[in-house]
């Protein structure tokens, strides 16, 4: 009997923590977490729990803690309207309730409620709450983040009110857009320094615009560890609040004209030989490329700080004001580089977030300050010129951040440091996935007013005309993997999705940016319903959709979607069509032999039914076309759809067959390193590519009833 009560209490405790103790996989099978997994997850949330027998006491402690909460830490007012503010009190106050509402604008409003008993709503004794009050809030609020401070019978309470539009920004009408996608590191030109840079991104945008395209998409442009704790993955950044200095276009930096030392190094035979060697490589050598570029940037940084009184210095100080946290970030990078150790191994003072200038090398501090200033400046200039051409940069926001990185160090209180984020087992990954970064804590980030999340969104939306959210399901729930457990032993934890959507809607409207959600894989219906309600575009990937083997023709991409042939986590179309991806994924251990056989059978059945359909529709005369011919037809079908945006992967245009990334691999595959085959100069002068893209532009303009570009 006692054991049963303990299990019931553990289930109640898990529910109170937002833990989902069971889930259905892609085959409809239900997976239930063991008590040990639930207990480990609760501990990862910072709740003291010895074992199941301690669940009753732990639940009581949590209830008592929440009973002290008079008002929820966050309240939403959709379109500025809120019927009332709910309070939980132990008794009816005898005096009036007073409040001060501080608007984001700085305006202050005084509120007061008299005759409090008439607002009593629900009597409840389940959680020890005697009375719930619902205080009316009659006056509409402007959009923004507002703070309500309450004074109640000697007690005080505070809540953040998010007043937000009911959906994200949606352009009014306009043409159906198309554009090009390529990871920035993979671009290369006659001026590249071993990896693509912001200058190459602008060249690609200009080429795209010359053919009628209006969108340029790439992977996250955030800083990664290239010197210490090496990890080039754009989805494991040091920070989601700053830019990657590797992508700086050195040759356009103003300080270069006033730095003889840097100019001399650029002219040196040693530098020129290394630059040519890096340009000749088929893959990015991050260590060599960053070392070469850094040698020049360090000289420019020192020259810049020596010549402080200047118009450029004013621009720098203005940037510092706009980024008040910048110096702290740069100190972190300097200390991290000097100590060559994760921040968890630093001395206690540094580990706990306190770094002063004397704790780090002055030259390193100046280097990181300067490179962030230049990276910000170049991003601003590049995106401004794109907007003048009517183009939008399609940026990508990673779901998480490196556990040894700046954000986790700075925001230790809002991350659940005892767990990792991942994905449950599926047909492609029978062992599940562990992505290696800690999840945000659902309650602690609410109590912080979501300051970190807002800051991350603002950093990206300042420059993104379109922003893709990696793994948008994370607004609803994340798959937590407790310490010491396998990815197969993870468990879902829920988040306050409405609050996160309110922030997203508000910030997107403020910057007039379109939001796209990556909703591939195992996604609950509630997520896509919320995306439709909030006007968030979904992701449509043809290689997922078109070869199901059901004998039907490919369905048109949905109107509320961004349509692509593939993603950065898939092989290019030619390898997909010729089934080379299955062979390679099996070779690196991602697919088991029996899985490879089953996938190949399904792929072949799907291809057969697809080709029959395309022949019937008159798109092919024969039933045995080449992969390139099928690629062009499927791309045209995507262009014919009413999807809001269609993206063409440069890897498909240049005939690539190797993937940029194979999920689930690390050293088994050269992830995040592969350059595209053609340089930007070759891309711009290849008639077949230009002809194909002009055809895509004509189709998209026809769908939009707009005259195509000449």
pLDDT tens for residues 668-704?
899 999 999 999 999 999 999 999 999 999 999 999 8
In what helix (H) or strand (E) does residue 626 lie, and over which residues does it extend?
none
Residue 58 counted as domain residue: yes
Residue 115 counted as domain residue: yes
Geometric angle at alpha carbon 520, from 517 and 526, rounded to 5°: 70
Three-class SS state of 410? helix
Range of the domain at 95: 74-164
pLDDT at 551 over 70: no
- pLDDT of 310 reads 82
| Of 535, 581, 562, nearest in space to 638 by CA | 562
**Same domain flag for 120 and 63:** no
**Same domain flag for 8 and 59:** yes
**Mean pLDDT lowest for which of 85-94, 401-410, 564-573, 696-705?**
85-94
Environment class of 523 (CB within 10 Å of its CB; exposed 0-12, middle 13-18, buried 19+): middle
Domain final residue, candidates 67, 83, 109: 67
- pLDDT of 544 reads 86
pLDDT at 24 over 60: yes
Q: Distance between CA atoms of 518 and 102, rounded to whole angstroms?
A: 36
pTM of model > 0.85: yes
CATH of the domain at 160: 2.60.40.10
Residue 50 counted as domain residue: yes
**Same domain flag for 136 and 153:** yes
- pLDDT of 167 reads 97
Domain final residue, candidates 164, 184, 207: 164
**Same domain flag for 79 and 156:** yes
pLDDT at 429 over 90: no
Q: What is the mean pLDDT of the chain?
A: 92
Q: Cα dihedral angle (522, 524, 529, 534), rounded to 10 degrees?
A: -70
Number of independent structural domains in the chain: 2
Expressed in angstroms, the distance from the first to the final Cα of the chain is 80
Residue 107 counted as domain residue: yes
CA 74 to chain CA centroid, Å, is 23
Residue 150 counted as domain residue: yes
**Same domain flag for 78 and 121:** yes
**Same domain flag for 136 and 100:** yes
**Mean pLDDT lowest for which of 468-482, 565-579, 601-615?**
601-615
Domain final residue, candidates 138, 164, 190: 164
Three-class SS state of 158? strand
- pLDDT of 545 reads 85
pLDDT at 552 over 70: no
Contact 489, 15 (CB under 8 A): no
């Amino acid at each position: 009997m006692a054991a049963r009560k303990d299990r019931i209490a553990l289930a109640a405790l898990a529910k109170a923590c937002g833990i989902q103790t069971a889930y259905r996989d892609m085959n409809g099978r239900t997976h239930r977490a063991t008590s040990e997994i639930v207990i480990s997850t609760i501990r990862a949330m910072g709740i003291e729990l010895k074992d199941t027998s301690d669940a009753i006491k732990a639940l009581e402690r949590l209830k008592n803690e929440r009973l002290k909460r008079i008002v929820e830490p966050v309240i939403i007012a959709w379109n500025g309207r809120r019927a009332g503010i709910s309070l939980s009190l132990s008794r009816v106050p005898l005096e009036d309730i007073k409040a001060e509402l501080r608007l984001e604008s700085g305006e202050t409003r005084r509120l007061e409620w008299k005759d409090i008993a008439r607002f009593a709503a629900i009597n409840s004794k389940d959680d020890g709450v005697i009375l719930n009050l619902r205080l009316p809030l009659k006056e509409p609020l402007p959009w923004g983040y507002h703070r309500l401070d309450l004074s109640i019978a000697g007690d005080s309470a505070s809540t953040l009110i998010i007043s937000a539009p009911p959906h994200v920004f949606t352009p009014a009408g306009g043409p159906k857009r198309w554009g090009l996608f390529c990871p920035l590191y993979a671009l290369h030109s006659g001026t590249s320094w071993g990896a693509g840079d912001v200058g190459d991104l602008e060249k690609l945008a200009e080429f795209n615009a010359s053919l009628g395209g209006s969108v340029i998409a790439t992977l996250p442009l955030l800083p990664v560890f290239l010197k210490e704790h090496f990890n080039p993955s754009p989805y494991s950044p040091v920070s989601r609040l700053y830019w990657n200095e590797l992508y700086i276009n050195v040759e356009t930096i103003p300080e270069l004209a006033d730095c003889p030392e840097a100019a001399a190094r650029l002219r040196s035979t040693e530098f020129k030989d290394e630059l040519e060697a890096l340009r000749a490589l088929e893959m990015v050598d991050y260590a060599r490329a960053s070392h070469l570029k850094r040698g020049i940037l360090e000289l420019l940084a020192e020259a810049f700080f020596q010549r402080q009184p200047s118009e450029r210095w004013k621009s720098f100080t203005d940037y510092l004001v706009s980024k008040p946290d910048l110096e702290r970030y740069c100190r972190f990078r300097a200390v991290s580089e000097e100590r060559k150790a994760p921040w968890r191994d630093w001395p206690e003072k540094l580990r706990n977030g306190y770094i002063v200038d004397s704790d780090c090398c002055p030259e390193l501090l100046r280097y990181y300050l300067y490179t962030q200033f230049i990276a910000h400046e170049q991003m601003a200039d590049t995106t401004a010129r794109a907007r003048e051409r009517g183009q939008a940069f399609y940026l990508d926001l990673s779901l998480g951040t490196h556990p040894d990185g700046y954000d986790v160090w700075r925001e230790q209180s809002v991350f659940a440091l005892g767990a990792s984020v991942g994905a449950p087992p599926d047909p492609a990954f029978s062992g599940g996935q562990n992505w290696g970064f800690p999840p945000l804590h659902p309650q602690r980030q609410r109590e912080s007013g979501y300051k970190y999340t807002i800051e991350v969104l603002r950093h990206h939306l300042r420059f993104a005309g379109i922003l893709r959210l990696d793994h948008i399901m994370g607004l609803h729930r994340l798959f937590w993997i407790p310490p010491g457990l396998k990815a197969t032993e993870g468990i879902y934890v829920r988040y306050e999705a409405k609050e996160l959507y309110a922030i997203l809607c508000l910030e997107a409207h403020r910057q007039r940016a379109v939001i796209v959600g990556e909703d591939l894989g195992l996604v609950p219906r509630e997520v896509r319903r919320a995306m439709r309600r909030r006007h968030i575009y979904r992701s449509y990937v043809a290689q997922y959709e078109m070869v199901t083997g059901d004998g039907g023709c490919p369905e048109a991409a949905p109107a509320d979607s961004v349509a692509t042939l593939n993603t950065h986590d898939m092989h290019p179309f030619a390898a997909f069509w010729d089934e080379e991806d299955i062979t390679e994924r099996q070779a690196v251990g991602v697919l088991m032999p029996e899985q490879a056989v089953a996938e190949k059978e399904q792929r072949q059945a799907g291809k057969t039914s697809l080709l029959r359909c395309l022949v019937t529709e008159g798109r092919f005369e024969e039933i045995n076309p080449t992969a390139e011919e099928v690629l062009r037809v499927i791309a045209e079908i995507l262009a014919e759809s009413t999807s809001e945006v269609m993206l063409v992967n440069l890897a498909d245009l240049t005939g690539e067959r190797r993937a940029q990334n194979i999920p689930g691999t690390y050293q088994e595959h050269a992830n995040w390193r592969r350059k595209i085959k053609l340089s930007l100069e070759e891309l711009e002068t290849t008639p077949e590519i230009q002809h194909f893209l002009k055809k895509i532009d004509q189709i998209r303009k026809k769908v939009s009833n707009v005259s195509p570009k000449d």
